[in-house]
Structure 1
Amino acid sequence: MDEQTLKNQLEETTSLAEEAYIYAFPMLENLKTMDRIAGPKAPSKTQRRFNTLLSNTKLLGPEFKKIVAPNNDTVYSSSWLDLSHEPLVLSVPDIPDQRYYVFQLVNLYNHNFGYAGSRTTGTSKGSFLIAGYDWSGPTPESIKKVFRSETRFVFLCGRTLIDGPGDVENVRAIQKGYILEPLSRYLGAPLTEDPPDPVFPAYDAEKASSPEFISYLNFIIGNAFIHPDDQPLIDQLAKIGVGPGKPFSSQDLSGEMQEAIRKGIVAATEKIRNKAREMGMKVNGWNTLADSHGPREIMGKKPLINAVGAAIGLYGNDKEEANNYSCSTDTDGKPVDGSVDRYILRFEKDNRPPVKAFWSITLYEPPLMLMAENPIQRYSIGDRTRDLQYGDDGSLTLFVQHESPGPGKEPNWLPCPAGPFVLALRNYWPDVKRFPLFVPPGIQRVEKE
């Protein structure tokens, strides 16, 4: 091979590797999470079995450090699913008092492919069938809705609204009615031993950021339906060893080819990072990444945006389910810092988040983006906070500061650390017509006396 031909080949390899890594990145992040939670080397105290729904009844607080920016509004019911044996059925009870709940289904492509809950299917009892891409059996008449996954592995994430410690028993009763079981068991077949947990490659961060990421990608797409929209890309990537279930070892490549793939990974990583910085709508210091998660119909055509969504946080909701904002600067563009200033957030009567479920503001301490300890153990504040005080004109002023604003104002106080912080405004089930007109108020700095 002459020098120019080799140069052209290496340049093409780098370009293809960049495309491949952007496409693969959300899958790698999902594999990492699945391995940490349900893999054979997961800590025994926290290891989860596939196809087994586990619920917690405690709101997450500063002690929870497994994922970044957890919410402080709902309790979780979740499971990793393996759909290779047969479909699974999720059954939910009648949800009293129109309480908000949702079960979100996310495949390894990082696409939200289904929702069961208050917004989409209502609060009456029902059973939902979750099937793999290759299942072709009949649907029982009692099934309310069928969700079909393009990948063998799925993350099922349930959230149930809890209104403080006094509401725990009510939520516990609801969670007892959440049932996840194989279709055969749902139909009354005799109980049999559950199939063994699946075997999948253990996630290794060094491997995932090297040419060996292709072996992970091949495993995942080998256990998935290749959508017609993706097939041309998969065909192109075959030049660097990509293929469903295809064995791959970088040791079979020349040193020059390995280096060309590494260059593609670096370029892809930089592209994801840069896109994350420029994405989103910014208003009054708040930033929203409402279009960073969604179904295939949207995300399948935007591989770079899909990668950004996985980079900033897996399992984000469709914007129709929850439309969220984050803010770390005041109205003057200065980073907020509880050791330096005090702050207020003032919602006018006609400018509070227009939602059908609820809204809340949670405070996090960077860089880990975890909740911060505080003397009144309040980690979020919102429309469900008890004893909130409203102005005579109907406005709502919230105090965000390290020290107490005084006994008369403490119901509206969201404590912050003596240092930098970030606010997250979560809006569950936003009103489709009115929410696009909502503009969150800026964080106003108040001079210390």
Structure 2
Amino acid sequence: MKNPLPRAVGCAMLLLASFTSTFTHATDITPAETKAIAEEGYIYGLPIVMNYATMYDYAVDKNSGQYKAPFNHIHNMHNVFSYKDTAIVSPNSDTPYSLMFMDLRSEPIVLSVPTVEKPRYYSVQLIDNNTNNFGYIGSRTTGSEAGNYLLVGPDWKGMTPPGIKKVFRSQTQLLFVIFRTQLYNPADMPNVEKIQSGYATQPLSAFLKQPAPPAAPAIDFPKFDKDLVKTDFFKYLGFALQFAPATPEEVAIRAKLARMGIGADKDFNFQDLSAEQKTAVVEGMQAGHTKVLDAVNHLGTQINGWNIVSSGGDAAFYDGDWLKRAAIAQAGIYANDAEEATYPMAKILSDGTPLDGSKHNYTITFPAGQLPPVNAFWSVTMYDGKSQLLIKNPVNRYLINSPMLPDMKKNADGSLTLYVQKDSPGTDKESNWLPAPNDLIYMVMRLYWPKTENPSVLPPGKGTWSPPAILKIN
């Protein structure tokens, strides 16, 4: 989906074999209450902590191996994601990314985009620290023309300045911006780079040619890694909450967390709890994680073995349903709104049998005239079924997408068959080969800017178009 789960918050970290954190006071609540709050708090906080992991890797720790750029600076990737990229799970390998974490504490930021000639698709996804999509710039929403857009924090009360096309308000002071620019083929990369060079940001004061306001205080970011998150999940959550004023739907859960010493102005201290309460916290988090995994398996509608998920959304889309938000983040953090991209995902055959490249070969056949109905483009991407990461393969092919159609072979009846297997199907079929792992398989179909007229995949799981069944061929 997702676009994607940060490396530092993989499933292994959530087994919580050991949990020694920091907690301030909770001796006045029973172990049963402690377990219930830890469970609900874990579900509420998982996307927030996952986002912090990505932010730390991309914008804070220059030695992370995944570092991109400091806050308020755009990092343009002149390549698509490969098996070497491990910070985000289920990464999109269709579009070169430009990425930026943004800090709006001192003043708003002006984000500028160049003209992007049709039919090339591009999008700028605006995501707050809670993983809510609070706006889009791009082909679908604002068109292909150049423009300046203002990104403001939750407390900004200024007027829209001249020269600004639209104001986008984040509910959090820190946020993440994901630019996607369509790449037609490898030779097209210079054209993508030219567009990327036109993406720009500047403080509002610089845009208005006015003196800058005082700088915000430096942030002392707590070190993040997969071992520390086992011990300090709620410490990371409390840290992140200081940049996110509570919205009305968050008041209740934040009050519960505060009873356990978890919050923006608190320092969670696990050691102050009794042994019974420590056990309750661990059990609560484990129960929360079990619920998240179960919710992932029930996120969407099963059609032909594909799970068509409703994708991500804004705060109103989640409406306080923290389990839905956590499940979408676990399935692929930073998922687009369904109207921007819809994601059928497959791990099983129609009969429920897991897809396993070590045991079987598979095919996916689109009947003639029934390719995915999109305004932009579509793709089918292969991932390792356990890690949800791209897999190394002999042809360096991680996906098949619609720009590749001219080089693919259609069947005599006009249908298109994809060969999903670990070994080459033969030189005559290799153009249609989607290399699979020698293990469990996870596939994501991405439908960018899906059509709304029939046939359509929208609304997700209830549309008039469905992905074809995956068939076992040996």
Q: Normalising by the residue count of structure 2, what TM-score does the alignment of the two structures yield?
A: 0.85
CA contact (8 A) 1:372 1:379 kept: yes
Residue number among 234, 241, 249 corresponding to 1:221 in the alignment: 241
Match of 1:186 in 2: 207
Q: Secondary structure of the residue that 2:291 maps to in structure 1?
A: helix
Match of 2:16 in 1: none
Q: Deviations over 1:120-146 (max 9, x none)?
A: 111111111111111122221211111
Residue 113 (1) aligns with residue 134 (2): yes
Closer, same or farther: CA 341–151 of 1 in aligned 2, 3 Å: same
Q: Deviations over 1:67-104 (max 9, x none)?
A: 22222210000011111111111100000133111111
Match of 1:173 in 2: 194
Query: Highest CA radius of gyration, 1 or 2?
Result: 1
Q: Deviations over 1:393-422 (max 9, x none)?
A: 432222223444444433323233444433
Please give the residue correspondences for 1:341-420 in structure 2 after superposition, counting only pairs within 5 Å: 341-385=360-404, 386-420=406-440
CA distance in 1, matches of 2:414, 2:297: 36
Residue number among 36, 42, 56 corresponding to 1:35 in the alignment: 56
CA contact (8 A) 2:418 2:432 kept: yes
CA contact (8 A) 1:209 1:265 kept: no
Please give the residue correspondences for 1:13-412 in structure 2 after superposition, counting only pairs within 5 Å: 13-40=34-61, 42-43=63-64, 46=67, 48-189=69-210, 198-203=219-224, 205=226, 208-210=229-231, 212-291=232-311, 293-331=312-350, 333-385=352-404, 386-412=406-432
Closer, same or farther: CA 28–389 of 1 in aligned 2, 3 Å: same
Does 186-195 or 46-55 show the bigger shift?
186-195
Closer, same or farther: CA 143–217 of 1 in aligned 2, 3 Å: same
CA distance in 2, matches of 1:161, 1:42: 30
CA distance in 2, matches of 1:42, 1:402: 34
Higher RCO (CA 8 Å, separation ≥ 6 residues): 2
CA distance in 2, matches of 1:184, 1:101: 28
Q: For structure 2, which runs of at least 5 residues remain unmatched after alignment?
A: 1-26, 458-462
Letter of the 2:97 partner, please give it: Y
CA contact (8 A) 1:402 1:416 kept: yes
CA contact (8 A) 1:338 1:401 kept: yes
Cα drift, residue 349 of structure 1: 2.4
Q: Normalising by the residue count of structure 1, what TM-score does the alignment of the two structures yield?
A: 0.89
Match of 1:3 in 2: none
Cα drift, residue 54 of structure 1: 0.6
Give % identity. 39
Letter of the 1:446 partner, please give it: I
Does 299-308 or 394-403 show the bigger shift?
394-403
Q: Deviations over 1:138-183 (max 9, x none)?
A: 2212111111111111111111110121101111110110001111
* Count of residue pairs brought into register by the alignment: 440
Closer, same or farther: CA 325–392 of 1 in aligned 2, 3 Å: same
Letter of the 2:237 partner, please give it: L
Q: For structure 1, which runs of at least 5 residues remain unmatched after alignment?
A: 1-5
CA distance in 2, matches of 1:351, 1:240: 54
CA contact (8 A) 1:331 1:445 kept: no
CA distance in 2, matches of 1:356, 1:58: 23
The CA RMSD measured in Å over matched residues stands at 2.7
Residue 441 (1) aligns with residue 462 (2): no
